Structure formats: C-alpha cells, structure tokens
Structure 1
Amino acid sequence: MKVLIIVLVILLTISVFRYFRQRTYLKTLTEAQFIEGYRKAQLIDVREPQEFKNGHILGARNIPLTQLKQRLIELRKDKPIYLYAQSEFRSARAAQVLHKNGYQDLSHLKGGFKKWTGKVK
C-alpha cells in the first residue's frame, strides 16, 4: 500500500512539474487572441488528415502530431507558430516536441477546434 501511494505521489509531482514547465514556453490563447494573431503566424493543425478534411480553420496547414518530428523542416523558427487540435492535448504535445527542437514562439488555441466559432473550410 505504501509503495502505491509513493508511486502516485511521484506521478502527480511529475505531472505538476510538466504543467508548470510547459507554461513557460507555450501560450494558451482565447479564440479572440488566436484570431488576432494567426494570420501573421504559421497556423498548424496537428490533427490527423481525416479530421482535417472534415473541417479546419481557414489557412491552416495539416502537420499531424504523428508526423511532426519528420516534418520539422517545414516550419520556420523565426516566425510564431499557432497550434490547434480537437482539444488542447495534442497541440500541447506538439508544442513540447517543437520546444525540444528549438522553436520558441509557440501558442495554442484554448479549447481546441471543438470550441472554435470562427471561419472554417
């Protein structure tokens, strides 16, 4: 029983640490903030191609999280990157990958595409 409690405390500590660390390099933007800046940024949809085909934010490029490491060359490090997925989970994971590879100006959409009310294609 003690071992289980120790393991749970360690996992919780790691999760909290990652959450706060991520906040140092990833901005979470409201829809209004996202709309205000995404035309000047690289707008990346990290969902899978079928999800992208079913609807996406106008002007977005589809680079699925599963392909991101192989397609880093398609992204510029000198321009902001705006990420989104269905919710916030995959875009946060994508930001983690990008941050580890030297990308700095990273933002993602609060609530993800499912909360988006702006223009879609």
Structure 2
Amino acid sequence: MTPAPFQHLDIAALADWLEAGSPLTLVDIRDPQSFAQGRVPGSRRLGNDTVDAFLDEAPRQSPLVVICYHGHSSQQAAAWLSGQGFVEVYSLDGGFTDWQHRHPDRVER
C-alpha cells in the first residue's frame, strides 16, 4: 500500500506549531483578494503565477502546510506538492475560514 502523499493538520496543531516557532512553510492557495484581506501569519500566497518561483526556492525538508478556504482544495494542492519533492506536506483541515473563526486575533492583514 502506498503511503498518503500528505497528512491532515488541524487548526489547534498549527496554532501550537506557530506558537512554538517551529520551522515550517505556509502557503495559501486562495485568490489574491481573499489573501490580501486576511491570512495565517507568515503564510505566502501560492498561485499559478508564483508556483515556479516557489518550487525554485522553497526548502523541501521543512514541513509544508497548504491552506485554502475550507480545507478541500488544499488536499489536491498538498498531494501535488508532495509529488514535487516536499517530504512533509500537510493540508489544513477547516482552512482559513476555520482559522479565522477560532483565532480572529491571529489573522495577518
């Protein structure tokens, strides 16, 4: 049986990792306007226009967390990024919507 290309990450675990200052890469695949209105602190937007540069510079050994609106499309992106050589890839369950609901004070604008 082939292992899953990515793992699921819940909001509480991400909050703990950020609080601890754990080294990780956060990418947000939402549209540019939504990203500009609010995002998980330290995340960078990843889209068709930025993916090539991201693949050139992102550390493959660092945990990579993919964020979308609700935690659905991030799963497809996480699986794809895993196939690009990232060794520890996570899809954020609940996405930014859940993050913003649970941590309104931890939204970067």
Q: TM-score range by the shorter chain?
A: 0.7 to 0.9
Structure 2 CA distance for partners of 1:102 and 1:68, relative to 1, 3 Å: farther
SS in 2 for 1:82: strand
The 8 Å contact of residues 69 and 96 in structure 2, kept in 1 or not, is answered as yes
User: Residues 17-28 of structure 1 correspond to what in structure 2 (within 5 A)?
Assistant: 24-28=4-8
Unaligned runs of 5+ in 2: none
Say which one has the larger Rg: 1
* 2:11 corresponds to 1:31: yes
Aligned positions, number: 100
The amino acid across from 2:91 in the alignment is: H
The amino acid across from 1:25 in the alignment is: P
Task: Return the TM-score normalized by structure 1.
Answer: 0.72
Task: Return the TM-score normalized by structure 2.
Answer: 0.79
The 8 Å contact of residues 5 and 83 in structure 2, kept in 1 or not, is answered as no
Q: Compare relative contact order (CA 8 Å, sep 6+) and give the higher one, 1 or 2.
A: 2
Indicate the structure with greater helix content: 1
Over the matched positions of the two proteins, sequence identity in percent amounts to 25
SS in 1 for 2:82: helix
RMSD: 2.1
Structure 1: 4+ residue segments shifted above 4 A: none
The 8 Å contact of residues 65 and 89 in structure 2, kept in 1 or not, is answered as yes
Alignment partners' CA distance in 2, 1:74 and 1:47: 20
